[in-house]
Amino acid sequence: MSVDLLGRPLRDLRISVTDRCNFRCVYCMPKEVFGHDFSGYLDRAELLTFEEITRVATLFVRYGVEKIRLTGGEPLLRRDLDRLVEMLARIRGLEDLTLTTNGSLLTRERAHALRDAGLRRITISLDSLDDEIFRRLNDVDFPVRRVLDAIDAAADAGLHPVKIDMVVKRGTNDASVIDMARHFRGSGHIVRFIEYMDVGNTNNWRAEDVVPGREIVETISAVWPIEPLGANYFGEVAERWRYADGAGEIGVITSVTQPFCGTCTRARLTAEGSIYTCLFAGSGYDLRPLLRGGAGDEEIAQTIASIWRARDDRYSEIRAEKAGAEKVEMSHIGG
């Protein structure tokens, strides 16, 4: 087990498999920055191969990682992703393998292929059930219905409970909170309401656009009483709440108003092989020279361990001190 300078163990690894996405969500990849003429995407040769990803993931598991989440960009844009899932699922000691997607490419066939390859769970982003609002948020005119179909496909494949992530932004989709709660109550799925965060430097984040988690809880509880649940494990990012009438549970992620830096157990591997120890970091640690320069597993493993042991990140707790600092974009680091 590897522990950082603040006593936090390494438990979770988030792996970005691509920095590209087919959505242009205003809080992540706004079209005015990531438009048709954007030239900053990684070249194919820069991406880690599946074999390289699996090698690094195996070494992370050696140092305590129990859960791996595949992200992007949009991970389903990466060709033959089910082959990577199959490779990762074979890692001895890995307890959980999951994926976050916008759902646009998740057909029933693909959901079953991912499940058969070893994927255990899935999270699907959906920021409103109002079609007009959702199309405006994804900014590529993608309809709600197709994301709901993806959720059904995931459930049909046995990737349950499906988690549905909703980023809540004041004056944009906050009026959709009750509709989301109503729609998924009793479904067996878990909606997680996420405070709008200042990830990266391109989404024009303002504190006044944040809808605090307490407000979200109060809004829902005024309609359907909810009560707190304990965490499933140390380092779980979402506060858990269950409906008093037994209709399931929701989650609330409060990175802005109630930071959980003190229990953060997550490292992130970008698509080109850099390790980031915080979602809000400005720079990472490039493993690719080691991976492609002939380094042995022991040297790479010791590098990973030394990076984590030197970690003292707590951005959300000291956000005011970091105002204006450069941060990696969410589409690159994988959320």
The model's pTM is 0.96
In order along its 335 residues, the chain shows pLDDT tens digits of 689 999 999 999 999 999 999 999 988 999 999 998 898 999 999 999 999 999 999 999 999 999 999 999 999 999 999 999 999 999 999 999 999 999 999 999 999 999 999 999 999 999 999 999 999 999 999 999 999 999 999 999 999 899 999 999 999 999 999 999 999 999 999 999 999 999 988 888 999 999 999 999 999 999 999 999 999 999 999 999 999 999 999 999 999 999 999 999 999 999 999 999 999 999 999 999 999 999 999 999 999 999 999 999 999 999 888 877 888 998 888 87
Domain locations in the chain as residue ranges: 12-333
Q: Kindly report the length of the chain.
A: 335
How far is residue 1's CA from residue 19's CA, in Å, rounded to a whole number? 30
Token code pair at residue 149: 């179909």
pLDDT digits (tens, 9 = 90+) for 83-107: 999 999 999 999 999 999 999 999 9
Residue 22: closest CA among 78, 70, 69: 78
Is the domain covering 12-333 a CATH 1.10.760.10 domain?
Answer: no
Query: How open is the CA angle 39-40-43, to the nearest 5 degrees?
Result: 95
Nearest CA to 272 out of 312, 332, 331 is that of 332
